[in-house]
Structure 1
Amino acid sequence: MSVSVAKVRFKVVGCTSWEDGYHPKSMEEMHPFVTGWKSERYCPYPQQFVVCLRSKARIRKIQLLSHEYMIASKIELFVGRSSIQGQQANSLLNIQYTRLGYVSLSANDATNYKSREMKSINIDAEGQYLKLVLHTNHVNQLNLFNQVSVLALNILGHDPQSHITKSQSIKVTGRQPPVHVSTINDLSFDMTLDPSSARLIKQLEAQKQQAIERDQFELAKALKEAINEMIKVGQVLCHYEREKRQAIEREDFDEAKKWKSEKDSIEIQLKERLNFEQLLRGEIPIVREQGRKDKKVHYVPEELTRDTSTRQSNLPSLSSGQHLPSEPPPPVNQPIDIELPHINTSQQQSNYSEYPNEDAEMPPSQPEPLTDAQLNEAAVAVQVFGDVTVAKVFSKLYHLREQGLTDVLDIMKKETSFSRSEMTKALCQILRRGFSDKVLTSFNIAIDILKELMGEYAKRHRLSSSDLVTVLDKILPVVMNRFADTNTRIQSSSMRAILDLAAIPEVKPLLGHYLLRPLAQDKTKSLDDGSKLTISMETQARTVTWRYAKGRVEVLQAFLEVVDLGTAHMTIPKIMEFVNISLQHNHAKVREAAAQLTVYLYKGYRDGTIRELLPVSSSDHIAMKNIFWRTLFHQLDEIDGIVHIAGQESFEKAKKMKQKRLNNLKGELDALRSLAQATGQLPASEDSEEIATVAAQTRVIDSATIEQTCPFCKSSRPEFNVKAHMDEHYAAECPMLLQCKKCTQVVEIKNYGAHMLNDCSSQTEMAECPKCHEVFGKTQLESHMKGSRCTAPPDDHVKCPLCHTNVQNNDESWHNHLMSVSSGCTKNPRRKRRRPGQQHVSVTKASEGVTVIPR
């Protein structure tokens, strides 16, 4: 007996991190064009995310689709259920997890990162939560930022009460019953078919099940054949939709229009010839043709009958551990009712530029002639590689451009009669054209040509450093300009090209000069009155395209990880000169990347001059009001072991206030002593010992006592004279302080809510309750406002962020609430509690007996 399972719908309720545009919520959808979830750049490991099922279910199978190169080394699986009942049952803090095991993922280098691995994991567990823990990524040259990514997640199961229990099944059969997964519930169905085709197939499948229940087997057979044909056509339509999207991405709108019209045409013909309306009404479709008997319809697109054997491929059978191509396959040259062969992953880079209209001509195999401007631009390249090859590189058809660049790569690997200077100039002309291409495949071939030129070709022909510098002068600016590309794949490839050059020993020392070049140059502008206005480099750099500036900073940081400081023009002053301009860029993402680079430098080299070279100082009170600069200096201080207290004056400011208070007390003591001497109650000849007695009676706090006293809890210890001990007290002991759970910063408890809203790194995730003014996560605010705990505090009172009781909003009330042994805050983990059996003793301070002399 097999167990039928269905998809279990879920929603993502928790995630460690994600990159912009790759939110984990996208995993709630399944179709070939889904972006999936991607961790943030340089993320800490392990990464994890939690999904909540729509209802409690018995999970029988989990399917995961991994990215082609952002691959986790292993993934652990946990199933969970809430440990309590009631309103807090859905809180992630109340979930108890059971570890199911882990799966290991292939590094995917065998497929050259052209396929995606799908894991099908058979389990048998009940719960409502599923947690995935992803460990360190497989390292490869494409994964520049050590990220991991999961594109799709499919959970299959059933209601725990709808089938025999686990113990019953084992008792009857002696083993677990097999799991039956229908075609439409499998992950490969959603990830390889056009979404519109998938919806139609699901409608036909539902109609087929109804026909089976009514014993209408002829109709069920017709529906089955229509589903099979629709699945095969859906694969073709998925390819057309992908080609259309790629054409839109490279702004080739004529090509996109052709793919769309062809896709629409096939869909219309298919619906007419399969008679969808009759099938959905429960009628068997019959097509009558002149001179023939009635027959069943098999739809064969005309464009698939052409001789395109060079493009044969198909979708793989996606069993556990097999690979799914990163792009759906091109159309095949067979009728769609014939079994298609397994995919050959080595043929993924196929030619898709045919026009599939019946009357259209096949695409030309020869490029269009070069124009005069192109001949001038590539004069040396024409002499070296020939006009046909160069014309292919300059062609408007991208498959010809790819072919031309590949021919150039093959030619340069062979011995030629041209001098190395001629070959170098010719290759530079080709590379400038290749790196300007909008198609990723052509761009990657240009990267291969550049690596070959700077590597093996340079060694074989003994190119000098001046020759290499000449190439870099002409090529690197073009490559770095692609950092600003809106196509993220080209953007990543351009960054990878720089790092690939850094792996060549002869080129590595030369790159620093180019990476530290200013983001912009001084600009002179002519005014109407004939005068000229010079715009400084710093002003220009602040408005540079943010993607370009951010890419420059990130590549510089990646380069510093593989180069020693002091080599390749890499010195702290030169680096900071570049970083300072990025720290003042108009876009926040550029400033954040520059701040991350500053912290990396300070942490790696501990060079004190970094602080001095920053454009602002920590003593600049105006600049420190900006949360960006305050956060940056706090990060640098944390590296030095300095703990900052949020919501209260700094340690130095508190010390100055104490000193001022000490001076005032000493002045009052002098006035008191003078008045006592004048009235005769204190002899003028009184020695210093008696004066010291009077000073003790008036409770003068000397400087040593002030240095030993915590400004928050007022506790005093001799070791507090050492600043490190005082910082330890702040971080771990002081009952008036608390470590923020989000950013780990030490904050004052009474200002904890204000910190979460204004200063915390997670402030965008927090919100204030309009009724009780407590601060919660945005996802928890709605449930809090519906609960009984949400009540408005009385006037002049606020809610304690720990125990949620009302506290009068003044220093004395907060001190008593947070530090009282008997009646203090029950949720304060640092408060001293009365030991069991300890008696409460009331202590009343005796009067000092000081004689007050009226003035």
Structure 2
Amino acid sequence: MAKKIPFSCVFASDEDLPTYPASELNSHGPHIFGWRSKPDPSLDKSPKEIVLKFHYPAKIYKIQVLAHQYLIPERIDLFINYSSKSATPSSQTFEYIGFISLSQASENFQSRELQSISIPEKLATHLKLRMGGPYSNKLNPHNQLALLAVNVLGEECQPNDLNHLRIKSSTDESTEIGLSSITDDLSYCMYVEESIVDIVKKLEQLKHRAVEDERFEYARKLKLCMNCLRTVGERLGRYALSKRLSVLKEDFNTARLRKEQMELYKKVVFEKLEIDKLFEYDGLLVENDICSETYAAKPQLPQAPTLVEVAKYLENLKANEASNGDTAGKSNLQQDKLHEIPQSPQFRCKSNCDQISKSSPRSSPNTGSLRRRNKSAPRNTNYDHDEREIPTLRHSHTNEFLRECHHPEPEMRGRSKLNDREKRQASIPILVFGIDIVELFYSRQFQDREEALLMLREILKNPEKPEFGYNKTTRGATILLHRAIRDAVFSVFSAAAETIRCLFCEFIPEKVSNSEVARCVDKLLPELLSKSGDASPRVHNLAQHTILVIATCNEVKEQHLVAPSLSRPVTNGTHPRLALSRMQMLEQLVLSQGINNEKQSGLSPRLLSECGIQGIQHSHEPVRKVAERILLAVYKVNPRLIRKQLPPDDEITRRNLLYRQLFAEFDKIDLQRKREMLAEQKVNTIEFSINECSSSETSGETSRPKSSNVAESIKILRINDRASPIPFRPRNNQQPQIYKSKSGQSIKDFAKRQETFKCTFCDTIAFSNHELDFHYWKICPYLTKCENCKDIVKISDFNNHLLSECERTKDFVKCDVCHDAILVRELEKHKKEPHCRVLTSGIAKCPLCRENIYLPDDGGYERHISIGCPKQKRKIIK
């Protein structure tokens, strides 16, 4: 089992002293600032090197690197060295083992990237990191580099194992190495306070020992305790970082209060979780093998004291010492303080509140603000968000602090029990899924609700027929999901949306009756429509996507359950966000399902035109833009209906900017339609001429046709008669050639089949086949040129072309993760890229820009190209 290998930084080619030295990499923790290179006004992008020396020779299995938010190197090359000498080895003796590629920062520059590289077993004493140039961004004007942490995982080894490792590495076998402790992982130790990490590591050893001794109840308690301590450690880590920042600012009052806050909170948490009992300092305890009230469920952690409360607490202790004549030193004060820490799970206990209320000058109502007047506590400190006092409570005669003190909560608040009303509401889910999962849905803890949604998703994915049938299972799931999608916590709402997708895409098709599907949609759709108007972008975007996924279900599409709710006209009274979401979803349905003449479908021309007419009169401009696009789509189908509902097209109406732009688009559509008619007339003329030639040939006439236009028409139609007009390959960078038919098909039959010279992908009209071939070769945005064989290929079929049709097919292989066509030599590098990911149903990936394409079979590629693929050089001509 791999464990963390301790090391020390012995060399750095550059470092920003004194705040960001390379020695920051020697330890891990939330308060660590990491290494950073000097700011260089000359914008030098030369590589930077750091050499780490292990405390003992070790077999290296894995290396982890945590990058900075915006000072990000493009690449980190890794070298190792084994040396029995204590001096730093020379550059020539290092062995190259690989590299780590980091991605460019996102727009907000707030996320850190953790990258890991697994290597075959290597015996080493030194590790060298060589960093290339940084990514350029607005927050890094001087091209600095930074690393927050480096972690090396492996096993301690003796020098005589070198030969064995050389033989093993020659076989190129790599095995998956597990960690001896979760605390050795960089994602854990960088965000959890160090003392908590040590405690969790000891508890983990006790858990393994308890499992070996078959003390499973004891092991369960230890697992719950470790999970709670991770949450506590993350909070203490934030406090430790704030304490270090206060020291740097020389705000020593705040630093002292942060230290006292951490000690008090740890004391209360340890008493709540019964850490002393779990460690069994005095030998085996029978109590640990018996289910206790504290660990009957996941323990409820106490709240941490705020800095204001800590300051008041210390002031009261000082006042009590002065009144009792106690002049003990700091050690006695610390001991008295710890003895007087409350025993309840909340720090705000009655005894402390009594002391604070007696010493407070505002103990009666109507005395003004409760703002702290303690001179020893800081006034202008950036408290954590969860520690700030609610403004409305500052002006009341009491606050939550005092109320919780006089009305303490119970010792343990486990899973919520259902009352009679909730049991009546959830009678069907209780019957179908059981009381346990339903109680998780009604729990006050969002983690329990997330777990319940995961359990429900696994039930819906089970291929076996449910015990109570598909219809009743769907009804029970609908009741639970109706409650979950109204949840205010985004993670719960996201899990509910994924479960709804699983319900309609995997469970319902061909199994559930139409009436039950309609009842399910009627219950869930109004809540999702309400969420689609939420102020948070991630909420309303997820709600829109979920509604569109529901609309793709065949049972929903056949009964027209979604479109009628979206095609209701919007008014100025409709909120702009909700109106915009409805119009955008309606536009997507028009593109994916088309315009339907059935009135009950919700996509009939009349309903769409009425919705569009109301939409262009909305006060919000984005709503008007979407409504205009819907009207244009209907106008292509029924122009007379649209013209009839709009004001007359005259000079007075065109003075309105909105109508002037709309009528201008109508004119373009009319012109395009006229071109199509002219092209059709030309083809009809060609057919007539060909028929005359055929009849003359049949009758035995050998005379030439009277008009030379017939020969010209025949010449135009001499094209390559293949299944599709692409792919073709222009030779010598000339315009594409006009090939004769390979199948021997007559020109007459081809003219009957090909009525107009029209692009099959973007509906562009051409006046000749030569012009159409040139359009395919250079213009059509839905096609692209393969750089390997120079063929013109449809974008959606590009991966299949590389794997089966291209001249260099043998150089490509299909990725088993994302199914892209990748060069064989770049497959391993590709699997480390962020765009190599497993795609769920209903989602594809653009082979050019690697972005997600939703609903690819229902116009997803067309929408992606119309918006503008960044890697497609051909653009749609509007």
TM-score bracket, normalised by the shorter chain, equals 0.3 to 0.5
- TM-score norm. by structure 1 comes to 0.36
Give the structure, 1 or 2, with the largest relative contact order (CA under 8 Å, sep 6 or more). 1
